[in-house]
């Protein structure tokens, strides 16, 4: 599988090392032309992208972090920039987990001439899914509605907004189309604790030719109705016009759970899965046509400790059928840490079925 890079930028230079101040090569495609964020004119008032930007721009925020060093032998840390978007007027913000995973301090800055800075804390999310939900103490904030990523079509026009390359002057806007759906990719993340060899696996992601550059991480991918359909996450450093976003439908349960109960611990299985489709079943010669195919296991996580293996297909969780990865995520989040649940899997190599008992852990999110 081709290796991609997560789209995080340092304050001074482009960085692929989770916001640290290290000079490295560019990590994303840059061919798309940014759209001007100036006021509407007679020439632009009829442009749907310009109108969309004017509507959603106030809710796209800059997420700045003071980070711990990725090198355990070095002193100090660094600073970095990612993006996020406000989904509730009382200060609930969505971003990528890798934007905040080593943060000692998180600052959220709103755009525009009346820009405000807020200290943020992590209230929920899912490290394996690269999703974090933040909270700032504010009211009556502008928001962006969540759309339906399952309704996306190939060729549909989309807009990406975020603080690309940590450039001054507000967010950058790029446009493109949905190039592919249901992709699975690997992306380098030096700070990921649940990753194998610091490689994060994204499953069921949206591929777009809208430029996703370092600093775009956590920003919204929007349809032309101004609804969030994805969370911008990764780019391809060796190719142009290839960017990736987490489908918003898979993230909605985690976002809603965190917003409703920001202090509650989140149950954790410790797997990265991909929904079994007809194509995936043919590719891996799977003995089942539905389920959640295990791509990776978190080291020493609940699933690995219980004896689940990479290549197993989860077909049942606590007696409930698991037709997709999204269903598995919903069932996990319906439980509490410490719950002991039966998990039925089918081996992709032998086709044999077995049921193991898994004690769910606590999702290892940073507490800021």
pLDDT at site 170? 80
130 in catalytic set: yes
pLDDT at site 235? 72
What are the residue ranges in the chain where pLDDT is below 70?
A: 1-46, 67-79, 190-197, 236-240, 364-368
Q: What is the pTM of this model?
A: 0.70
Distance CA 206, CA 237 (A): 17
Distance CA 47, CA 36 (A): 12
98 in catalytic set: yes
Active-site pick, 15, 98, 179, 184: 98
pLDDT at site 195? 66
Residues 6+ apart with CB under 8 A from 22: 10, 13, 15, 78
Q: How far is CA 117 from its chain centroid? A: 23
List helix spans (H) across 128-247: none
Q: Which domains does the chain have, with CATH numbers?
A: 1-264 (2.40.10.120), 267-362 (2.30.42.10)
pLDDT at site 72? 37
pLDDT at site 298? 81
Query: Which SS3 state, helix, strand or coil, does residue 204 take?
Result: strand
217 in catalytic set: yes
Distance CA 362, CA 368 (A): 16
Is residue 367 packed enough to be buried (19+ CB in 10 Å), middle (13-18) or exposed (0-12)?
exposed
Distance CA 87, CA 131 (A): 14
pLDDT at site 125? 85
pLDDT at site 204? 84
CB 215 within 8 A of CB 8: yes
Structure tokens of 22? Answer: 């290290």
CB 89 within 8 A of CB 140: yes
pLDDT at site 236? 66
pLDDT at site 311? 94
pLDDT at site 366? 52
Please name which of 88, 90, 61, 30 lies closest in space to residue 218, comparing C-alpha atoms. 61
Which is it for the CA torsion 309, 315, 317, 322, positive or negative?
positive
CB 92 within 8 A of CB 118: no
Please name which of 246, 254, 252, 245 lies closest in space to residue 123, comparing C-alpha atoms. 254
* DSSP code of residue 196: B
pLDDT at site 364? 63
Is residue 32 packed enough to be buried (19+ CB in 10 Å), middle (13-18) or exposed (0-12)?
buried
19: left (phi over 0), alpha (psi -120 to 50) or beta: left
Active-site pick, 10, 83, 126, 130: 130
pLDDT at site 200? 79
pLDDT at site 4? 66
pLDDT at site 19? 36
Distance CA 298, CA 200 (A): 11
Active-site pick, 184, 217, 298, 348: 217
If you search the block for the tokens 């389920």, which residue do you land on? 291
Distances from the Cα of 179 to the Cαs of 47, 80, 132, 210, in angstroms? Answer: 22, 29, 25, 9
List helix spans (H) across 126-265: 248-260
pLDDT at site 315? 97
């Amino acid at each position: 599988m081709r290796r991609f890079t997560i789209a995080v930028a340092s304050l001074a230079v482009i960085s692929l090392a989770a916001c640290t101040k290290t000079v490295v090569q560019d990590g994303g495609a840059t061919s798309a032309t940014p759209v001007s964020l100036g006021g509407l004119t007679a020439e632009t008032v009829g442009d749907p992208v310009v109108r969309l930007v004017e509507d959603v721009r106030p809710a796209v925020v800059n997420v700045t972090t003071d980070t711990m060093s990725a090198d355990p032998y070095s002193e100090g840390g660094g600073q970095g920039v990612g993006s996020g978007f406000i989904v509730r007027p009382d200060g609930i913000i969505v971003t990528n987990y890798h934007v905040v995973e080593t943060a000692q301090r998180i600052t959220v800055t709103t755009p525009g001439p009346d820009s405000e800075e807020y200290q943020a804390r992590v209230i929920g999310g899912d490290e394996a899914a690269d999703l974090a939900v933040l909270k700032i103490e504010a009211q009556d904030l502008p928001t962006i509605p969540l759309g339906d990523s399952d309704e996306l079509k190939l060729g549909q026009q989309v807009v990406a907004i975020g603080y690309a390359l940590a450039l001054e002057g507000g967010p950058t806007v790029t446009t493109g189309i949905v190039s592919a759906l249901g992709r699975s990719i690997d992306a380098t993340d030096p700070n990921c604790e649940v990753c194998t060899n610091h490689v994060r696996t994204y499953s069921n992601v949206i591929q777009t030719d809208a430029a996703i550059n370092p600093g775009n991480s956590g920003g919204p991918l929007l349809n032309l109705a101004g609804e969030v359909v994805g969370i911008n996450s990764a780019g391809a450093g060796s190719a142009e016009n290839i960017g990736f976003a987490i489908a918003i439908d898979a993230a909605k349960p985690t976002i809603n759970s965190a917003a409703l109960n920001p202090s509650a611990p989140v149950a954790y299985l410790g797997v990265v899965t991909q929904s079994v489709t007809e194509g995936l079943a043919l590719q891996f010669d799977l003995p089942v046509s539905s389920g959640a195919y295990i791509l990776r296991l978190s080291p020493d996580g609940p699933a690995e400790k219980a004896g689940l293996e990479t290549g197993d297909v989860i077909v049942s969780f606590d007696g409930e059928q698991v037709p997709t990865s999204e269903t598995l995520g919903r069932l996990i989040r319906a439980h509490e840490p410490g719950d002991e649940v039966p998990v039925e899997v089918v081996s992709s190599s032998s086709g044999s079925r077995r049921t193991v008992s898994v004690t769910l852990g606590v999702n290892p999110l940073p507490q800021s």
